[in-house]
Amino acid sequence: MFQFEMLEKHDHEQMTLCSNKSAGLRGIIAIHDTTLGPAIGGVRMRNYDAINDALSDALKVARTMTYKAAISGLNLGGGNAVIIGDPKKDKSENLFRTFGKYVEGLGGRYIAAEDVGTDVADMEYVRMETKYVAGISKALGGSGDPSPVTAYGIYVGMKAMMKRLYGYDSLRGKKVAIQGAGNVARYLVEHLNHEGVEIIITDKHHDKLKSIVGSVKAHIVKPEEIYSVDADIFSPCALGGIIDDKSIEEMKFSIIAGAANNQLVDEKTHGIMLKQKGIFYAPDYVINAGGLINVANELEGYRQDRALRQAEGIYDTLLKVLELSEKEDLPTSAAANRLAEGRLQMVRGMKNMYTGDSTFSGRFGELTRKNR
Ligand code: NAD
């Protein structure tokens, strides 16, 4: 019963448990909503302490993916998969190919992509058993690393936040504090540096910082110092769950605009706290949609220039979120949810008008969506 309650709480459509002892597979595929199209989402591999943590993670991320696709204007639904295990020790061809058979069994309702703990090589094993995989290497006709498009989306998103706050969108002379010096940050600093931004950066691994400060001018601080530095914009590009009572208390930023997923520890409470403190928060799933836009492009025959152009749309989407937030006196996170839900409802309404099937055409040929 408990699992049904978890599904019903946020209207998830489906949860598939995948188990194969000889392959060492214990996994979950969560499908939140396929109103807009097949559910797309990453495959996470992690040693969860408890099965319910894995379930909650899969369901939470699947729902975020629905909202991310909806607000980005993509015709995709939201899904997510988790594989329980240690990514450093438990990976094998057998594991990922067996997982791929489960994905195939869903007949295109779920499209898998890499996520935390998995990489392109793992997805290539999954692809041996199913065509419903995205985010594969360029050599195999895929879109490769999504980080350049994600970083570009963050950059244009920062500009949109500037525009609403100051009436101009130039970042020249502004200070940006970046948490995490990984793949997204590596591309983001190039855009910022080019526009004359003063960069402050931290990472818990010093070698990551070395490669960044080798290419651009940046001031390094300790990880625990990043929330209280004197900067205009905070860009969380490391982990989620970092905006809480304590970090908000330390912040003097005007804007938060970064790539990490699920940045607010409690969406409602911390969304309100940021608003009360006058900090403009770019909802994570809106500003970091470049990665999903990149993968969605792969489904139609990948071209990075087209993906980058579509990621520019994040600017206007954020302006709409900020406008609604001001008009309705809502935290920006709530305003984004309202816009995403509005699009889902609109498409559900359209579907009720159909007499036949609607068809999603793309790399997979035809994925037919019956009226639900
Ligand atoms: P990454 O793993 O390449 O980089 C993250 C960096 O953060 C690492 O260098 C890590 O050492 C550092 N880090 C971790 N904890 C830290 C801490 N407490 N303080 C300081 N540094 C810390 O990841 P990425 O691909 O650059 O993605 C960054 C974030 O954006 C992730 O949360 C990811 O889920 C999210 N995201 C990424 C993409 C993408 O296209 N790569 C798309 C959407 C969302």
Helix (H, G, I), strand (E, B) or coil at 55: helix
- Is pLDDT of 138 > 90? no
Residue identifier of the C-alpha nearest atom 2 of ligand 1: 182
Positions of E strands within 203-350: 218-220, 233-236, 255-256, 280-281
Q: How confident is the model at residue 369 (pLDDT cuts 50, 70, 90)?
A: very low
β 198-202/255-256 pair status? unpaired
The pLDDT value recorded for residue 372 is 36
CA angle 53, 54, 57 (to 5 degrees): 85
The pLDDT value recorded for residue 339 is 98
- Is pLDDT of 360 > 60? no
Rounded CA gap, 102 and 289, in Å?
A: 27
What are 77's strand-pairing partners?
Answer: 39
Quote the ligand 1 centre to 183 CA distance (angstroms).
7
Helix (H, G, I), strand (E, B) or coil at 135: coil
Domains of the chain: 2-67+77-140 (3.40.50.10860), 147-339 (3.40.50.720)
- Average pLDDT over the chain reads 93
For the segment 337-360, the average pLDDT, to the nearest whole number, is 80
Higher pLDDT, 232 or 119: 232
Quote the ligand 1 centre to 11 CA distance (angstroms).
29
Mean pLDDT check: name the lowest of 143-157, 203-217, 322-336: 203-217
CA distances from 185 to 138, 178, 360, 368 (A): 21, 7, 34, 38
Give whichever of 6-10, 75-79, 301-305 has the largest mean pLDDT.
75-79
Neighbours of 94 (CB within 10 A): 14
Give the rounded percent of residues in the chain with a pLDDT score beyond 90.
81
β 198-202/218-220 pair status? parallel
The pLDDT value recorded for residue 365 is 55
The pLDDT value recorded for residue 214 is 83
Measure CA 118 to chain center. 15
CA distances from 355 to 76, 232, 260 (A): 21, 53, 41
The pLDDT value recorded for residue 370 is 42
Quote the ligand 1 centre to 360 CA distance (angstroms).
32
Residue carrying the six token digits 């992509």 = 113
Mean pLDDT check: name the lowest of 88-97, 176-185, 192-201, 348-357: 348-357
Mean pLDDT check: name the lowest of 78-82, 129-133, 270-274, 354-358: 354-358
Angle 51-71/290-298 helices, nearest 10 degrees?
Answer: 80
- Is pLDDT of 65 > 50? yes
For the segment 35-54, the average pLDDT, to the nearest whole number, is 94
- Is pLDDT of 361 > 60? no
For the segment 168-189, the average pLDDT, to the nearest whole number, is 96
Around ligand 1, the residues with Cβ closer than 6 Å are 146-147, 150, 179-185, 202-205, 208, 223, 237-240, 259-261, 288, 291
> Which mutation among 190, 203, 210, 227 tests ligand 1's pocket best, with the greatest number of atoms within 8 A of CB?
203
- Is pLDDT of 371 > 50? no
Q: In which element (H, E) is residue 5 found?
A: helix 2-9
Q: How confident is the model at residue 3 (pLDDT cuts 50, 70, 90)?
A: confident
The pLDDT value recorded for residue 356 is 53
Quote the ligand 1 centre to 319 CA distance (angstroms).
25
Give the rounded percent of residues in the chain with a pLDDT score beyond 70.
94
